[in-house]
Chains A and B, each alone.
Chain A
Amino acid sequence: MNMKNVSIIYHKDLREIMTLRTVKYSMIIFPVLFLSILLFILYFSYLNLGSSSNIPDYFNNTLKAVPYSSNGKIFYYLSMNYLIFLSIVPLSLASTISSYSVVGEKQQKTIEPILATPIDDREFFLGKLLAPLFPTLGITYVVIAIYSIFSDLISIHFNYIIYPNISWAIVVFLFIPFSTILMVLLTLLFSSKAVDPRSSQQFSAIILIPILVVFFLSMLIYSIESILLLLLTAIVIIGDFLLFRITVKIFDRETIVTRWK
Chain B
Amino acid sequence: MNKMIEVINVEKKFGEITVLKNINFNINKGEIFGYLGPNGAGKTTTIRILTGIIEPTSGEIFIDRIDLKHNKKLIRSKSGLLTENPGFYERFNAIENIKFFSKLYGLNDNDIKSKIEYYFKLFNLWDHRSIPVGAFSKGMKQKLSLIRAIIHDPEYIYLDEPTASLDPETSNIVKTFIKDLKKQGKTIFLSTHNLFEAEEVCDRVAILNREIIEIGRPDELKSKIFGNRIVVEFENEPEKVKNILSTMGINFKIEGNKIIMDYEKSISSLIKNLINSGIDVSYVYRENHSLEEIYLEMVK
Contact between A118 and B74, CB atoms less than 8 A apart: yes
A159 on interface, CB distance cutoff 8 Å: no
B100 on interface, CB distance cutoff 8 Å: yes
When each residue 90-113 of chain A gets 1 if its CB lies under 8 Å from chain B and 0 otherwise, what string results? 000000000000001000111111
Contact between B92 and A16, CB atoms less than 8 A apart: yes
Contact between A118 and B88, CB atoms less than 8 A apart: no
Given contacts A113-B81, A113-B101, contact A118 B106 (CB under 8 A): yes
Contact between A112 and B83, CB atoms less than 8 A apart: yes
Given contacts A5-B104, A8-B100, contact A116 B91 (CB under 8 A): no
Inter-chain CA distance A98–B30, complex, in Å, is 44
B73 on interface, CB distance cutoff 8 Å: yes
Contact between B51 and A116, CB atoms less than 8 A apart: yes
For B133, give the chain A residue with the smallest CB separation. Answer: A108
Q: How far is the CB of B118 from chain A (nearest CB, A)?
A: 20
Inter-chain CA distance A114–B53, complex, in Å, is 10
Contacts of A108 in B (CB 8 A): 87-90
A54 on interface, CB distance cutoff 8 Å: no
Given contacts A8-B104, A118-B104, A119-B104, contact A113 B87 (CB under 8 A): yes
Contact between A257 and B105, CB atoms less than 8 A apart: no
Contacts of B285 in A (CB 8 A): none
Q: How far is the CB of B114 from chain A (nearest CB, A)?
A: 20
Contact between A110 and B73, CB atoms less than 8 A apart: no
Contact between A113 and B73, CB atoms less than 8 A apart: no
Contact between A118 and B73, CB atoms less than 8 A apart: yes
Contact between B105 and A118, CB atoms less than 8 A apart: yes
When each residue 73-104 of chain A gets 1 if its CB lies under 8 Å from chain B and 0 otherwise, what string results? 00000000000000000000000000000001
The tally of residues in B whose CB lies under 8 Å from a CB in A reads 30
Contact between A253 and B53, CB atoms less than 8 A apart: yes
B228 on interface, CB distance cutoff 8 Å: no
Which of A20, A114, A253, A257 contacts B104, CB < 8 Å? A114
Contacts of A5 in B (CB 8 A): 104
Q: How far is the CB of B187 from chain A (nearest CB, A)?
A: 16
Q: How far is the CB of A261 from chain B (nearest CB, A)?
A: 13
B31 on interface, CB distance cutoff 8 Å: no
For A8, give the chain B residue with the smallest CB separation. Answer: B103
Contact between A116 and B79, CB atoms less than 8 A apart: yes
**A1-23 interface with B by 8 A CB criterion:** 5, 8, 12, 15-16, 19-20
For B74, give the chain A residue with the smallest CB separation. Answer: A118
Given contacts A113-B87, A116-B76, A118-B76, contact A257 B48 (CB under 8 A): yes
Contact between B91 and A117, CB atoms less than 8 A apart: no
Contact between B87 and A117, CB atoms less than 8 A apart: no
B14 on interface, CB distance cutoff 8 Å: yes
Given contacts A19-B91, A110-B88, contact A115 B100 (CB under 8 A): no
16 more CB-based (< 8 A) A-B contacts, given A8-B100, A115-B53: A5-B104, A8-B103, A8-B104, A108-B89, A109-B86, A109-B87, A112-B53, A112-B81, A112-B85, A112-B87, A113-B145, A118-B76, A119-B104, A253-B53, A254-B53, A258-B54
Please report B residues at the A interface, Cβ cutoff 8 Å. 14, 48, 51, 53-55, 73-74, 76-77, 79, 81, 83, 85-92, 96, 100-101, 103-106, 145, 148
